[in-house]
Structure 1
Amino acid sequence: MGSIGRIILQRLGLGLLTLLVVSIVIFVAVNALPGDFAQAILGQGATPEAVAAFREDLGLNRPYLTRYFEWLAGAVRFDFGTAYSQAQFAEFAGSDAGSGLGSVAEMLGPRFRNTIFLAGLTALIAVPFSITIGVLAALYRNSVFDRVANISTLTSISSPEFFLAYILILFLAVINPILPVLSLVNDEMALTERIRMTLLPALTLTLVVTAHMMRMTRAAIINLLASPYIEMARLKGISPMRVIVRHALPNALAPIINVIALNLAYLITGVVVVEVVFVYPGIGQLFVDSVKNRDIPVVQACCLIFAAAYILLNLMADILSILSNPRLRHPK
């Protein structure tokens, strides 16, 4: 158990180091973009004095290194500062009107919960569906079912997300008005209504991530079917389905867990296009709006959240793979 603990601590340390490097890249890349952010926010009609005062209020005239460490220290406390749009409103409305305005963290909170809800609903649909199709494809490999499953999943993963989204809108919202076109969810909605509003983008993401998980499940199980213990189970007269589910699938968990975790990471970081198509009020939609409005603190916070979610889920995949594989738990 001591070796497992050391391995987990090493992975966590590497994850934190990776996140630190990513935070530097995010800050440098965003602040290296051309143009004056204060001038862009205030508009071309702003006087040089107003631009200079606004830059000073936002801290844009301070050295990059100082601003980075202040941003990093705030991010550790989940304080990403004030959005430029809020700061602009406070500038024009006065300090009293501007006090108490929503910070970046307050803007991100409900949006992030919506994105997690969408990713969770997609995972509840995609993971059991993908594993089931993968097990059946391995059981009936080289059959018509196997070929159809492979062609269908490869077609879905090869199609752009917006194309799949519009196809689903056409068939499930226009020709057959079963689901709403726009996913305008809010916290006051009942759970059933919220699921109904979120189902169309969840189905779109399911089509995108199913292929990876299904094909990895199929490949991992087929790779184990030639093992001696599988042959022994067959010689004992155990049914093929039970051989796969009871003997092959548990030993194929490590690669399956890896691909599931990677796709769950994609569900959080890759939802931007789907959220924009369905006008879903998640963090991806907020990210696009902030890029369009040049709201740099919000853009930096969104990028850091995407990176942290991706790194965390990769760490979970790595740790779960180690725990599920005795050869990794006890390396020679």
Structure 2
Amino acid sequence: MKKQLTLLFLLWSLFNLSAQNYYMASPEGFGAQTTGGGNATPVTVTSYDDLLAKIKSNNPEVILVSGTITIPSGKPIQQVVTNKSIIGLPGAKLVNENQSNPGAGILYLKTGSNNVIIRNLVFVGPGSYDIDGQDNLTADCTNLWVDHCEFQDGQDGNFDNKGKADNVTVSWCKFTYLKAPKSGGSGAADDHSFSNLIGSGKNDFPADGHYSITFKNCYWADGCKQRMPRARNAEIHILNCYYNTSESGSVAIGLGGGAKNSTCYVEGTDFAKVEKVFKEYISTDGGTVGIAFDHCRKGSMDFGTTVSKPTYNYTSIPLEKVEEYVTNKSYGAGATLQVSSTGVIASSFAKKS
């Protein structure tokens, strides 16, 4: 009887976790209208040339990335990308460890990009080095969903949104720096482990004036120092995210007003280990900022103007479960989706060995 009860409890636990949106058939949040390549027949790529050709295609594509694809030195993929789903098969990586400028960077969705899904990929960069270089992923893209990806060691940053980027959801992604930062660059920082920038300057903003971005179930892990995220001209929703970095002087959320002002609604988020939860940059960016912390661990007091809760529909998990779910190596943040060779993504998980 005891064994039966234990089995029932385990089955209930698995069902409950699956119900807590480890797998999402479609994005929630500001990027909810993103459909990517839709029902296009999946095609598998194993080389840089094949990946580039499919990304450049004028047709909707579902691109399955297999194995490790190394970006040739000085040849990051920089394209206008439309109607594409780029999905990693288990273990898939995109790697560029060149630390020069130009030379670094993996993927840049250039101005005019629209309706792009990126899932289950590990992006591996060269380590932070402040020479105004390239990010692992740079998005100047409307209607973007980045889900279950891991970003390691971006040179200038891990994943930035700028230009006309808008209506973006970033879900179940992990950001980390595993390599020691390189000092002595042309910039001001010897440790430029700055993960996620939104807006490259106070006069950088999309067509409607605000970068509308949802971060859901994301994990800023060890090595991240700042920009988790750092934003201007933005409306941001940070939901059920987890922060745990041992970096000295670490700052989680940085917010400047810019030309159009900024707001950030932080909900059910666990700031387990970070020196400073929030920093405002009005003195350099101008404008006004508003930030609200709703049922967060170690969250600051509300700051600035009143910030309303997002009006779109979304699911959430209890604050006390955020660490357990988001950091789990089998089903948590990062490239943990189980994808078949035909591109079918499992809606539940099996524990990895």
What's the TM-score once normalised by structure 1's chain length?
A: 0.24
If asked which structure has higher relative contact order (CA below 8 Å, sep 6+), I would say 1
What's the TM-score once normalised by structure 2's chain length?
A: 0.23
Q: Specify which structure has the higher proportion of strand.
A: 2
